[in-house]
Amino acid sequence: MRKTTTIRMLGFPIDLGADRRGVDMGPSAVRVADLDLKLESLGYSVIDEGDIPIRNIEVQELQDTHLKYLPEVAEMSAILATRVKTILDQGEFPLILGGDHSMSVGSLAGIGAHCREHAKRLGVIWIDAHADMNTSETTPSGNIHGMPVAIAMGIGHPSLTTIGGDFPKLAPENLAMIGLRSIDPGERELIHKLGIQAYTMFDVDRLGMYEIASRVIEDMSRKVDHVHISFDVDGVDPAVAPGVGTPVSGGLTLREAHLLMEMISQLDTYGSLEVAEVNPVLDDRNRTAEFAVEIIASSLGKRIL
């Protein structure tokens, strides 16, 4: 169990960063799957702060096809960053429910600002089929949900990289990516250039999840003071989590995902979590949201025995 026993749940129902609609209902779907009750059964006090209101696409104007809905994403990300930083400053655990993965622009900005203010080194474990390291120059779609990792490292449009302060929120050597299997050419180049610890599904097949999780956790234990987990449900196979906007076959199995999160729970520096891309419109009777709840519980101490 984490040092704090208070979890503040915050919904960020953004779908401006992606093409397929429906992820704005993700926070509600996860709540319906009894997330609060699961966490309370583990001994936590859960405070649900509700959702940050976000204007939907129908009332937005698309100004830049390389950075879709940039003004609203930047404005809402700044609000999320402030809320997340406040939760951490209070000594509590922020649990952010998305929404598409552009949510990480704001969450990582807030966590990075907190860490900088308190002289902490931030580490991020990114669980995702995608690297999310594009820029306006490399993006094939213009969707900002494919950019938050680059933005957190200070690479991207200044209206996004300066949220929470004009400094990189994340050092490349303190990032570990797990489950990758759909990487754009520009992202591949940046991963190699920055020497990022990136584990593709080939690596998962070759090494096994226990070995990969052990390496990542040992590395994080040595180098950082605050570990943030960003879990995109498309990191797992669509057979496990069908309700995602950008499914990619050949992903993590249910047990691989749980093993990883159960091992992460042992990290003393684990201090924040976000879950992205749950899309009820594409789901089967809320299976993906229910899976997300179980994954969250595993990361916060739930065990079989």
Mind giving me the DSSP string for 216-269? Answer: HHHHHHHH-SEEEEEEEGGGB-TTT----SS--SS-B-HHHHHHHHHHHTT-TT
Residue 102 resides in a domain = yes
Question: pTM of the full predicted structure?
Answer: 0.97
CATH number at residue 207: 3.40.800.10
Residue 62 resides in a domain = yes
Q: Please report, as a single letter, which amino acid is at residue 234.
A: D
How many Cβ atoms from other residues are within 10 Å of residue 284's Cβ? 10
The whole-number pLDDT of residue 2 equals 52
Residue 1 resides in a domain = no
Length of the chain measured in residues: 305
Strand partners for 6: 45
Residue 200: strand, helix, or coil = strand
Given a cut of 60, whether residue 39 has pLDDT beyond it is yes
Residue 46 resides in a domain = yes
Give per-residue pLDDT as tens, 155-186.
999 999 999 999 999 999 999 999 999 999 99
Residue 154 resides in a domain = yes
Q: Give Cα separations from 74 to 68, 71, 87, 146, 174 (angstroms).
A: 11, 5, 20, 15, 24
Residue 187 resides in a domain = yes
Residue 131 resides in a domain = yes
Residue 90 resides in a domain = yes
The residue range of the domain holding 16 is 6-299
Please compute the mean of the pLDDT values over residues 28-43 and round it to a whole number.
97
Task: Give the Cα separation of 274 and 8 in Å (integer).
Answer: 12
Give per-residue pLDDT as tens, 56-71.
887 787 888 999 999 9
Q: Catalytic residue numbers?
A: 101, 128, 130, 132, 145, 232, 234, 277
As for how many domains the chain has, the answer is 1
Q: What percent of the chain has pLDDT over 90?
A: 92
pLDDT classification of 1: cutoffs 50, 70, 90: very low
